């Protein structure tokens, strides 16, 4: 597929590119997105019903089973052409910021050096009460702190929880400063992540979206590429390096 020449020109001429990725960029790695129907045991649950502190307090074992299922699935997944293309793009652009809503760590595995994990990382464990990271034996049904015995939770941001201040501030700064904002593989339904594109637009940046299903905000963007990320991003990088 061809990336529109005017979009390549805008990217080439950009001083600072900010990219926001969502679950769609890992879809071609076999990691189900949130909008996809949950599979197997999880078909009866919506992610919002499991990814919350209330759900954890109600049934910590169930929530841990869900996260262990996802950790297992992600550990077996491979990075895909989209992750690799972004890792390459980072090296081609002087000022590049990657913000991901994903907790799967696949951008880092693909070689992206600086990743802002807006919603944390599924492989990290944290004290449920204090929030600090903890190394613990997480094979128990509900892992507990070896010292205080308190419950341990996955190090992700749940619905109703605030974004870690360092990630939030870095993402807001990049969205405000960039002159090209690229949204890849997100339904743009979850805030405040979905507000980053609007912030960039309001600060004068050109905004592009890559998503096989156009989102509600796409009509306000300069460019909307209705292709899978694994096709569009390699094509974008190939256009950047040709000539
Ligand atoms: C907060 C980690 C405030 C956990 C996740 C306004 C402002 C602030 C908050 C809110 C607000 N309105 C509502 C809220 C509350 C809530 C929210 O946004 N709810 C939604 C449901 C309406 N937000 C929050 O709770 C946030 N917290 O703001 O706190 C606050 C203030 C004071 C005091 C307390 C709190 C925290 C939200 C973080 C939730 N955690 N993940 C985990 O992973 O287990 S969110 C989770 O869902 C993901 O991380 C991701 O962000 C989101 C799913 O979105 P996507 O990534 O876009 O995935 P999705 O499946 O939706 O879409 C995939 C897309 O890919 C599709 O469009 C598809 O077409 C496309 N696609 C498919 N294949 C491909 C593809 N694209 C490209 N290529 C392909 N091959």
Quote the ligand 1 centre to 69 CA distance (angstroms).
20
For residue 146, report the phi and psi dihedrals to the nearest 5 degrees: -60, -25
Which residues have a catalytic role annotated?
Answer: 119
Is the confidence at residue 126, as pLDDT, over 90?
yes
Q: Please give the pLDDT value at position 37.
A: 65
The atom of ligand 1 lying closest to the CA of 35 is: 60
Which of 19, 21, 24 maximizes ligand 1 atoms within 8 Å of its Cβ, making it the mutation to test the pocket? 24
The alpha carbons of the chain give a radius of gyration, in whole angstroms, of 18
Q: How far apart are CA 74 and CA 174, in angstroms?
A: 28
Q: Please give the pLDDT value at position 135.
A: 87
The closest residue, in CA terms, to atom 6 on ligand 1 is 191
Q: How far apart are CA 65 and CA 153, in angstroms?
A: 11
Is the confidence at residue 1, as pLDDT, over 70?
yes
Predicted confidence (pLDDT) per residue in 163-173, tens digit: 999 999 999 99
pLDDT, mean of residues 132-155: 90
Q: How far apart are CA 86 and CA 98, in angstroms?
A: 8
Here the tokens at position 76 are: 């077996």
Q: Please give the pLDDT value at position 111.
A: 98
User: Which residues pair with residue 117 across a beta bridge?
Assistant: 100
pTM: 0.96
Helical ranges in the chain per DSSP H = 5-12, 47-50, 53-58, 60-76, 81-92, 106-109, 165-177, 195-202, 229-241
Predicted confidence (pLDDT) per residue in 16-50, tens digit: 999 999 999 999 999 989 877 666 667 778 888 89
For residue 35, report the phi and psi dihedrals to the nearest 5 degrees: -80, -25
Q: How far apart are CA 153 and CA 238, in angstroms?
A: 41
The atom of ligand 1 lying closest to the CA of 228 is: 78
Distances (CA, A) of 190 to 94, 160, 196: 29, 11, 11
């Amino acid at each position: 597929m061809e990336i529109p020449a005017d979009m390549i020109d805008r990217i080439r001429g950009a001083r600072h590119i900010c990219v926001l990725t969502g679950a769609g960029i890992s879809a071609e790695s076999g990691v189900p997105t949130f909008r996809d129907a949950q599979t197997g045991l999880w078909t009866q649950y919506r992610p919002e019903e499991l990814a919350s502190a209330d759900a954890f307090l109600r049934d910590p074992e169930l929530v841990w089973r869900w996260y262990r299922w996802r950790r297992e699935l992600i550990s077996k997944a491979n990075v895909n052409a989209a992750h690799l293309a972004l890792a390459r793009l980072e090296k081609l652009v002087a000022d590049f910021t990657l913000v991901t809503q994903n907790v799967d760590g696949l951008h880092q595995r693909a070689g992206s050096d600086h990743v802002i994990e807006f919603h944390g990382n599924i492989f990290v464990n944290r004290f449920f009460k204090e929030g600090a990271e903890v190394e613990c034996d997480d094979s128990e049904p509900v892992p507990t702190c070896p010292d205080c015995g308190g419950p341990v939770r996955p190090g992700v941001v749940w619905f109703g929880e605030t974004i870690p201040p360092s990630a939030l501030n870095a993402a807001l700064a990049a969205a405000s400063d960039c002159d090209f904002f690229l949204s890849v593989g997100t339904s743009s339904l979850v805030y405040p992540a979905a507000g980053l594109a609007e912030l960039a637009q309001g600060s004068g940046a050109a905004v592009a979206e890559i998503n096989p299903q156009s989102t509600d905000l796409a009509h306000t963007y300069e460019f909307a590429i209705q292709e899978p990320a694994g096709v569009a991003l390699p094509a974008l990088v190939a256009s950047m390096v040709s000539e």
